[in-house]
Amino acid sequence: MPYHFLGVAITPNVRLAQAEMGADQIWLGDHHRESDSFTENELAFIAARDSFYMASVSETGWPYVQHRGGPPGFLKAVDRRTMAFADYRGNRQYISTGNFAANDRACLFLVDYPRRARLKIYMHVEKLTLDSDPALTSLVSDVGYRAKAERIFRLRLEAFDWNCPQHITPRYTEREVEQAVTPLRERLAQLEAENLALRSRIEAIGE
C-alpha cells in the first residue's frame, strides 16, 4: 500500500515528543500526499546528484550513516519505485553492507546545496553481486569513473518527502565554481585585450 513519509517516521514516542513541544496538531490528519512512486521532479533531482547519505541500523540497534559518492547520476532509476547504484570500494569496513544483511531498511538524504533542497527517502535495500544481473550492472556502471565496484545495491521505495530549506548552507563543488567563474574569466580576457589595443593606439598616436 502507498505510504506517507510521516506515516513511517512518526511513532508513538515521536507523537509524545511533538506534544511536548506543542507541535502535535501540526501533523495530525492525512494531509500529506502518498509517495509510493517517484515523479519526474524526484527523478531529475536524483539524476543530478553526485553524492548522498545513507543510514542503516545494526543488530545492536546502533544507527550508522555513510556517505556515498560517484559521478553525477550514479544513483540510477530502474523504474519509478526502484533505484540502484554500484557500491565502490572504500575503507573496506563494510558496515552498511553488514547492517543490510540483518535489516534491509535504509533512509537516504540527498542534498542540493546551491538550491538548498533536500530529498529524504525510506527504502528497502537488496545486495546483488556484479554478475547476478548483467543488465542492471550495465545500467549502474559509469564508464571512465576510476573506482572499483564491489557489488550493487538495489533499493525499493517505501516513501519519500522533501525537507524545508532551513539551515542548509549553500555550498558549491569545484565544477560548479568553475562553471560560474568561466564567463567572468572570458569577459576579463576580452577587456584586457581591448585595453591592450587601446594602449597600443594611444602610444602610436603619441609617436
Q: What is the pLDDT of residues 104-151, one digit of tens each?
A: 999 999 999 999 999 999 999 999 999 999 999 999 998 888 889 999
Contact 154, 84 (CB under 8 A): yes
The residue whose grid cell reads 591592450 is 196
Cα separation, 115 vs 166, whole angstroms: 12
pTM, full prediction: 0.83
Q: Could you tell me the three cell numbers for 96? A: 552498511
Whole-number pLDDT of residue 163? 85
β-strands 82-88, 149-163 pairing: antiparallel
pLDDT at 165 over 70: yes
Torsion of CA 24, 29, 34, 39, to 10 degrees: -70
Cα separation, 130 vs 151, whole angstroms: 5
Quote the strand ranges of the chain, DSSP E.
51-57, 63-69, 76-79, 82-88, 105-112, 117-128, 149-163
Contact 127, 101 (CB under 8 A): yes
Helix and strand tally (H, E) in the chain?
6, 7
What confidence tens digit (pLDDT) does each residue in 13-60 have?
998 998 999 988 887 765 555 667 899 999 999 999 999 999 999 999
Burial letters for 113-133: b for 16+ Cβ neighbours within 10 Å, e otherwise? Answer: eeebebbbbbbebebbebeee
What confidence tens digit (pLDDT) does each residue in 100-114 have?
999 999 999 999 999
Return the number of other C-beta atoms located less than 10 Å from residue 149's C-beta: 17
